[in-house]
Structure 1
Amino acid sequence: MDRGAKRKNTNKRGVSLKTQELYALVFATRYLDMFTDFISLYNTVMKLIFLSSSFSIVWYMRRHKLVRRSYDKDHDTFRHQFLVLPCLILALLIHEQFTFKEVMWTFSIYLEAVAILPQLVLLQRTRNIDNLTGQYVFFLGAYRSLYILNWIYRYFTEPHYVHWITWISGFVQTLLYADFFYYYLNSWKNNVKLTLPA
């Protein structure tokens, strides 16, 4: 193997473009209310940041000369489009209110629950995970786990606080991370490089 080919292989990064595209779709369908309901300047700015950063990441991974070169296209082969249709059908069937905005919001909740799957499959295929990618996935999952603590707190402190769609989707999403959490915390505890079993 020549030195150039070796360098190209070692520069590969474990971030899944497929997962980034799904997250961009999640935020695009979740924040449709931005055009109809003004909540606060902070809320609007944060939604714009989520949208612009999500679509920027997708653009950079697809189009930017240097970033595109470091993307591991060969291993990121999960057919993420097959996650979109079932989530849309589920949102059409199970929602709180049958309006376009509400169905799209519900779709975004269902899609977010499974959007991490291409990333987890990519990590499973590459097995050896660099620190930055491992921490990125860990904190994505930790953020969802903290949401569950927030829901529990609000259930006991706010009257009539029941959101089954959000709760079940969040629980499913956290379960998808469980295996990764186990290996991540194990590698951190033993101070060894994070690897996933084949």
Structure 2
Amino acid sequence: MNIFRFAGDMTHLISILVLLLKIYATKSCSGISLKTQELYALVFLTRYLDLFTDFISVYNTVMKLVFIASSLAIVWCMRMHRAVRRTYDKELDTFRHYFLIAACFVLSLILNEKFTFQEIFWAFSIYLEAVAILPQLVLLQRSGNVDNLTGQYVFFLGAYRAFYILNWIYRYITEPHFSRWIACVSGIVQTALYADFFYYYFISWKNNAKLQLPA
């Protein structure tokens, strides 16, 4: 494992911890898109189908279990926890995410590295992760003001993908047979979706002001 992948994993983990902190400490999920969280849960469930068939390392297995368990816990909490679900911005979280699911599944049937059950769902998870943040970004744009923990959650989530792009570049240079082009292209698309958010995040940080996104 190289330093870029490790940094990506850690920033991804930090983003989840920040989100869990927001939910459990404040008993609020205001500003958080349930639809994005459901998409991420689906991403991890379909990507890690090899969890009990292909052992790579203890680190790899633990991280997979953490991402699956945390994503399901967040969805459960937003849907079922009485105090938390009352704060859910349902009227702002109206992105039709099932269109993303359908489009990504069709794309995974057409563009995949091998036409097998596991590889198709791996490609599906990669495509879906690339666009899973869209409902969250739309919700933040509609709400305008972004609280500190929500802003940090989205920032670390975007940083995770940026580190993974560096990881793929490093592996392309150092590993002669590395050819995960689907992950590379999808990662670039996903990182590009964060560009506008990053701009306003750094502006607010520079001015020591509350993060606000244009409507």
Question: Is TM > 0.5 for Structure 1 vs Structure 2?
Answer: yes
Partner of 2:99: 82
Q: 1:12 to 1:170 in 2, by over 3 A?
A: closer
% same residue: 72
Q: Distance in 1 between matches of 2:94 and 2:65?
A: 29
Tell me how far 1:160 sits from its aligned partner: 2.6
Equivalenced residue count is: 188
Range moving further from structure 2, 157-166 or 95-104: 157-166
Q: Distance in 2 between matches of 1:189 and 1:142?
A: 18
- Map 1:152-167 onto structure 2 (within 5 A): 152-167=169-184
- Map 1:21-170 onto structure 2 (within 5 A): 21-170=38-187
Partner of 1:179: 196
Considering Cα pairs closer than 8 Å and 6+ residues apart, tell me whether 1 or 2 has the greater RCO.
Answer: 2
Unaligned segments of structure 2, at least 5 residues: 1-27
| Higher Rg of the two aligned structures | 1
Partner of 1:7: none
Q: Distance in 2 between matches of 1:196 and 1:41?
A: 41
Name the SS of the counterpart of 2:112 in structure 1: coil
1:66-86: CA deviation from partner (whole Å, max 9, x where unpaired): 111121111111111110001
Unaligned segments of structure 1, at least 5 residues: 1-10
Q: 1:113 to 1:40 in 2, by over 3 A?
A: same
Tell me how far 1:133 sits from its aligned partner: 0.4
RMSD: 1.1
Amino acid at match of 2:90: K
TM-score (norm 1): 0.92
Q: Distance in 1 between matches of 2:58 and 2:116?
A: 25
TM-score (norm 2): 0.85
Amino acid at match of 2:30: R
